[in-house]
A and B are shown apart, each in its own frame.
Chain A
Amino acid sequence: MNITSAQYIQSEMDNNPTAVKAVIEGSTVFVPLDPANRHYSEIMRQVEAGTLTIQEAE
């Protein structure tokens, strides 16, 4: 799975990140922080492998 960027999403209603905005296979997607979600699982696999970094929320 080709993931070229990832950044946490945090709304003004939340004090903590609730999702990840990522570019996967060229498309911008919003991924829940849910290990059962295959995209989040792959993001975390790549983070652990050191090939991807999730940027902090703006």
Chain B
Amino acid sequence: MSKARQLADLGNVYDDGALSNRNRIINGAMVIDQRNGGSSVAFTSAAYKLDRWVGAVGTATGTTIQRSTTSATGFSNSALITIGTGASPVAGAVNRIYQVIEGYNISDFAWGTASASAITLSFWVRSSVTGTFSGALYGASTIQSYPFTYTISAANTFEQKTIIISGPTTGTWNSTNGAGVYVNFDLGSGSTFKTSAGSWTTGTYIGVTGSTNLCETTGATFYLTGVQLECSDTATPFEHRSYGDELARCQRYYFSSDEADSLLLSFGDVTSGDSTYFTILHPTTMRTGPTITLSNESHSGFDGITVFRNYATRWAGYDVATSTGRGYFQFEYVADAEL
């Protein structure tokens, strides 16, 4: 691409209102993996894996996902999906990787109005299988989908793809802390969830009829990175953010205390029957009150922690002493406010 073209594109983005914070996808470079730290894990039932990325390929048993260090030039990581035992999807099968963008982060799109902005989805993809692949965007508050296709031309080679999508002028789109828009990359969903490409259509769709079903090929690989969705009708270079910035964005939805030693919260003389109360602040304000999961909990002289208040900014718990004298309790925890 020439410098003149790059400057023209940048000027276009400026006209659209954003030179920074362009990318509405969080962890688009697949750098943050709080749950699994780069380990390969099962990808056969719907669950969050790399931060902010969720999905599964239930049709192909033994399918895995991991944060890979194989990536496109200029990137350190990608999400690698490896198909286990290939199989054809039944009509109602849902096989995909996707991210749900919070409503606040698309509120400037003006979707559902005559002024709806176009968006551009760009990403780097590599697969051992070539062909026409597909994906789709759909809304949470309104049942409208925009299916799209892209072609992987060369096997085992990273290629950048760009999809320009007109803004939907109808429907209701969440603009607060609920689900705004789902960004799906199809990996072989069934016919129920596939339709024609290239326009907003009523219904919830994940891909395009006739597109490649990656889940059918045993051992197939699919790498995805550099995912960017911007409020513009032009793709710009990927917006690399600092690790700390990206981690903080992820922690709005999920936080793992993840230290080698459990957090010692109380140590001292206690009286049997008394409760020790505590409050822990989240590192960043979360999307909503999170679900708290405790781990590595141990205690002496206490009966076990109860979490009784979960807010977007903090959570609180208590532990009741079961004996009089020296006592302690300690734990690790996860706070989950994913969409």
Report the minimal beta-carbon distance from B80 to chain A, rounded to whole angstroms: 24
CB nearest neighbor in A for B293: A29
A19 to B318, Cβ gap below 8 A? Answer: no
Interface string of B265-283 (1 = CB under 8 A from A): 0000000000101000000
| A-contacting residues, B78-118, CB 8 Å | none
Is the C-beta of B177 less than 8 angstroms from some C-beta in chain A? yes
CB closest residue in chain A, given B45: A25
CB-CB under 8 A from B293, the residues of chain A are: 27-30
**B122-130, B206-214, B284-292 - interface stretch:** B284-292
Q: How many residues of B contact A (CB 8 A)?
A: 24
Would you give the shortest CB distance from B248 to chain A, in whole angstroms? 20
Contact residues of B between 280 and 335, Cβ < 8 Å to A: 287-294, 306-311, 317-318
Contact of B308 among A18, A24, A34, A39 (CB under 8 A): A18
Task: Point out the residue from A10, A18, A36 that lies within 8 Å of B178, measured CB to CB.
Answer: A36
User: CA–CA, A38 to B309, complex, Å?
Assistant: 16
Q: With A36-B289, A37-B288, A37-B290 as known contacts, state yes or no: A30 contacts B338, CB within 8 Å.
A: no
Question: Does B337 interact with chain A (Cβ within 8 Å)?
Answer: yes
Given contacts A11-B308, A18-B309, A21-B306, contact A31 B291 (CB under 8 A): yes
CA distance A51 to B190 in the complex (A): 28
Closest to A57 in B: B308
List residues of chain A with CB within 8 A of the CB of B289. 32, 34, 36-37
Q: Is B339 positioned at the interface, with any CB of A under 8 Å from its CB?
A: yes
In the complex, the answer to whether B177 meets A9 with C-beta atoms within 8 Å is no
Q: What's the minimum C-beta distance from A54 to chain B, rounded to whole angstroms?
A: 15
A39 CA to B291 CA, complexed, in Å? 7
B294: shortest Cβ distance to chain A, in Å? 8
Residues of B within 8 A of A28 (CB): 293-294
**From B333, which residue of chain A is reached at the shortest CB distance?**
A30
A14 touches B308 (CB 8 A): yes
A13 B277 Cβ-Cβ under 8 A: yes
- Which of B287, B294, B306, B308 is the most central at the interface, judged by chain A CB atoms within 10 Å of its CB? B308
Q: Would you call A34 and B288 a contact (CB within 8 A)? A: yes
Residues on A lying within 8 angstroms of B by beta carbon are 9-14, 18-19, 21, 24, 27-32, 34, 36-40
21 contacts between A and B (CB under 8 A): A9-B306, A11-B275, A11-B277, A11-B306, A11-B308, A18-B308, A19-B309, A21-B307, A27-B293, A28-B294, A30-B291, A30-B310, A32-B291, A32-B309, A34-B288, A34-B289, A36-B177, A36-B178, A36-B288, A37-B337, A39-B291
Known interface pairs A30-B292, A30-B317, A36-B289; 8 further A-B residue pairs with C-beta atoms within 8 A, sorted by A's residue number = A9-B306, A13-B277, A18-B308, A24-B291, A30-B306, A34-B288, A37-B310, A40-B291
